[in-house]
Chains A and B, each alone.
Chain A
Amino acid sequence: MSIANKITRILDYLKRPEKTSHFAKERLQIIIAHERGMRDKPDYLTALQRDLVDVIAKYVAIDKEAVKVDLERKEGFSVLELNVTLPDGL
């Protein structure tokens, strides 16, 4: 091992490890916002969304993100909202 190499290794050893707590905070903010959005939604919503994407993809080339399914609870009933963004030129 060269002297320079050794010095680098010693310096590496003395260096403070990188701060990581801000990664924790950012990741938590994103995942928790997402999970709060799903909180009161029934479990079948994700499966329904996947199936709808498959059906529509048979006719139109769309990507997975183009289909949004949402369930909104009102007094006495719920509204299933379906939003499909189709590509240009159709």
Chain B
Amino acid sequence: MKEQTVTKIIVITSGKGGVGKTTTSASFAVGLASRGFKTAVIDFDIGLRNLDLIMGCERRVVYDFVNVIRGEANLNQALIRDKHIKDLFILPASQTRDKDALTLEGVSTVLDELSKTFDYIVCDSPAGIERGAQLAMYFADSAIVVTNPEVSSVRDSDRMLGLLSSKTRRAEEGREPLTEHLLLTRYSPKRVARGDMLSLSDVNEILAIPLLGVIPESQAVLRASNSGDPVILDKESDAGQAYMDAVGRFLGENIPHRFIEEKGNWLKRLLNFKEKETV
């Protein structure tokens, strides 16, 4: 199951806001940890902390990322143990309005310390291309580019790919570039079939990076955030299964893509209530 030795840093990024980065960070972290990898997930969205809510640990936040960087708390005090999975820890963002709170040295120190004991570090990037987003990607070994099948999201993703190839430590040191993965989220095969939405192959052709997975538009995501249990834990749901598949593929497993075709005919749909849930 588990055979990781060198710590891997993964950034979940997109440029555009509201496309599903935090949803993805939470589910990915749970997925990796449930396979036995010791995993930390860090909220880089300083001033707009939200990962804690999605992970259901908002009431247990005492210290945060910026407290650790400023030396006001040590890492162990700030890390929150996940309530579901043993090997999963959350480092929440600070709610400060000081946009210079994150520093390159500070982030570097925290990541170095986490690297001593963790297998995976998942960095939930804020939207935009400012400091927070750049620091979230700077130390990454892999990037998961979260994209919606929509013009502004695809364009922003391409812009992020440009930054990933030039503004990371790997790029600056001339090392082997980070691995890039496309995660197409909020996908609606029905709207694609109707000709209202960019298709998987359209987005794939434009961005031209390896496809990690397709997460369907799903009502299970809102339910998951309501209760603070990442959607990957909802094993019955389409989105939960799609995230589980994506984690498997990330770990090198060969899993066919699902949820990319329009559901069966109306009769089948009528007989299968669960299928009705996808928009």
Contacts and interface: CB of A to CB of B under 8 A. Distances in A.
A37 to B, nearest CB: 11
A74 interface: no
A6 to B, nearest CB: 27
Interface stretch (A15-23, A62-70, A77-85): A15-23
A25 interface: yes
A34 B150 CA distance: 19
Contact of A40 (B150, B159, B166, B199): B166
B162 A28 contact: no
B250 to A, nearest CB: 26
Contact of B196 (A19, A31, A35): A19
Interface residues of A, number: 17
14 contacts: A17-B196, A20-B195, A20-B196, A21-B195, A21-B197, A21-B202, A24-B202, A25-B198, A25-B206, A28-B154, A28-B155, A28-B206, A35-B159, A36-B158
B162 to A, nearest CB: 5
A22 B23 CA distance: 29
A72 to B, nearest CB: 16
Nearest to B207: A32
Contacts of A36: 158, 162
A58 interface: no
A24 B162 contact: no
Contacts of A28: 151, 154-155, 198, 206
Contacts of B166: 40
Contacts of B198: 21, 24-25, 28
B158 A32 contact: yes
Nearest to A25: B202
Contacts of B197: 21
B175 interface: no
B180 to A, nearest CB: 15
Given A21-B202, A25-B202, 10 more contacts: A19-B194, A19-B196, A21-B197, A22-B195, A31-B155, A32-B155, A32-B206, A35-B162, A36-B158, A40-B166
- Most chain-B CB neighbours within 10 Å: which of A17, A21, A31? A21
A5 interface: no
A29 B202 CA distance: 10
- Most chain-B CB neighbours within 10 Å: which of A20, A27, A32? A32
Contacts of A29: 206
Contacts of A32: 154-155, 158, 206
A21 B158 contact: no
Nearest to B195: A19
Nearest to B159: A35
Nearest to B150: A24
Nearest to B158: A32
A35 B15 CA distance: 15
B192 interface: yes
Interface in A37-54: 39-40
- Most chain-B CB neighbours within 10 Å: which of A19, A20, A22, A24? A24
A22 B158 CA distance: 19
Interface string B108-144: 0000000000000000000000000000000000000
Contacts of A22: 195
Contacts of A27: 151
Contacts of B155: 28, 31-32, 35
A27 B155 CA distance: 10
A17 B196 CA distance: 9
